[in-house]
Amino acid sequence: MKRMLVVFFLSLVLLGAMPARNREKRPGFFIEASAAFALLNPRDLNAAAAAQQNLTVFNYNENYEWARRNSGGSFSYALEEPNGSRLQQIRSGLPIDLRCGYAFNSRIAVFLGLQYLDSRRSSSMQQTYRVNDLRPDQVTPGIYMTEIVYPDFFLAARAWIPQAGLQFDIFNKRSWSGGIRLAAGPMFARLRTIEERRYKKTDADGYWIERRYITDMKGQGTGFAWEAVVRLARPVSSRLSLIMEGGYAGRVGSSFSGPGYYESQERDANAVKDLIRNQWEKGEWRTLREKIHQLWGDLEYTRSGNYFTNYANTGEFRLDLSGWQLAIGLTLAF
């Protein structure tokens, strides 16, 4: 976001310093192309990362901290976690627009366009707990190590948005013009999540047990999009103008469904157990809301996916790619 703001304000300075071509807007066709930086928060999609992050902290960190406080000194642990170890969520995107239109006069124009938005985030997390458990109620008291690793956590969303819209200039001088642009149209979107998780426990005598899980889910859906932005334009030649825009875009899709894949395997120091695989061709995306109660506290969380067919506490899944955005582009008049 900081980089985009720097580019935006540097472009404003460049616009102000650039010698303007004294050109009046005339009726005729035009083509515009622009690229933007958009703030996003697809909450239902991001729930996958938030849920796994919160579950890991709750089941291990908060569990061990509670045991330490209530053990009378017979339980202790140390957490090792690399810098930057965290499951990341989608927070921004880069919309690209191409518009073809017709200006009726110096103030009013209509256009048809296509917008493409692609946003993806890959992250990883690793937590290693070194535990010394000497509580008398333990079957095998002693030292052990627990590792929780997410080597590859991936979130992605793409959208294609055909648009129709209106541009209206509030002021129109020979060297500057400015006004608003309104557009709306259907949204065709795709999404994907990949969750890879590994759990391993190693005892002091060297015996270990490991579990590995992979879930890969895809989806397609439709929705509606609109945007309202303010714009500035400054001619740089008889036909070419530099434009800058800022505003808000609403992009919401629903009724997502698609294929999925699940794989799990357990092994220990003595043997490798059978690999379990499950694959489905079409599953409806839903949000699952759950609550966990343990001795050390309660946790409520929401996660999303396309395999919750047998769960009662699910709700509608929405892909919300709405957000504020800044854009810069060019207009070519004919």
Is 48 inside a domain boundary? yes
Q: How far apart are CA 113 and CA 98, in angstroms?
A: 5
Check pLDDT > 50 for residue 9: no
- Other Cβ atoms less than 10 A from the Cβ of 204: the count is 11
Share the mean pLDDT of the chain: 89
Check pLDDT > 50 for residue 320: yes
Check pLDDT > 80 for residue 4: no
Is 85 inside a domain boundary? yes
- Residue 103, domain extent: 31-317
Is 127 inside a domain boundary? yes
Is 223 inside a domain boundary? yes
Q: How far apart are CA 301 and CA 289, in angstroms?
A: 6
The per-residue pLDDT for range 109-159, each reduced to its tens digit, is 999 999 999 999 999 999 999 999 998 877 677 899 999 999 989 999 999
Confidence of residue 169 (pLDDT cuts 50, 70, 90): very high
Average pLDDT estimate for 238-266:
94
Is 302 inside a domain boundary? yes
Q: How far apart are CA 111 and CA 64, in angstroms?
A: 60
pLDDT of residue 135: 85
Q: How far apart are CA 334 and CA 192, in angstroms?
A: 41
pLDDT of residue 16: 47
Check pLDDT > 80 for residue 26: no
pLDDT of residue 194: 96
Is 147 inside a domain boundary? yes
Q: How far apart are CA 275 and CA 264, in angstroms?
A: 6
Two tokens, residue 317 = 């899944």
Is 5 inside a domain boundary? no
| Between 26 and 36, the higher pLDDT residue | 36
Is 172 inside a domain boundary? yes
Q: Is the dihedral of CA 69, 75, 80, 81 positive or negative?
A: negative
Predicted model pTM: 0.85
pLDDT of residue 313: 78
> Which region, left, alpha or beta, applies to residue 199 given φ > 0 means left and ψ of -120 to 50 means alpha?
beta
Average pLDDT estimate for 10-27:
54
Average pLDDT estimate for 71-98:
93
What is the CA 166 to chain-centroid distance, rounded?
30
Per the structure, how many domains does the chain have? 1
pLDDT of residue 5: 44
Our CA angle for 99, 7, 40, nearest 5°, is 65
pLDDT of residue 269: 87
| Between 233 and 4, the higher pLDDT residue | 233
pLDDT of residue 110: 97
Average pLDDT estimate for 217-227:
97
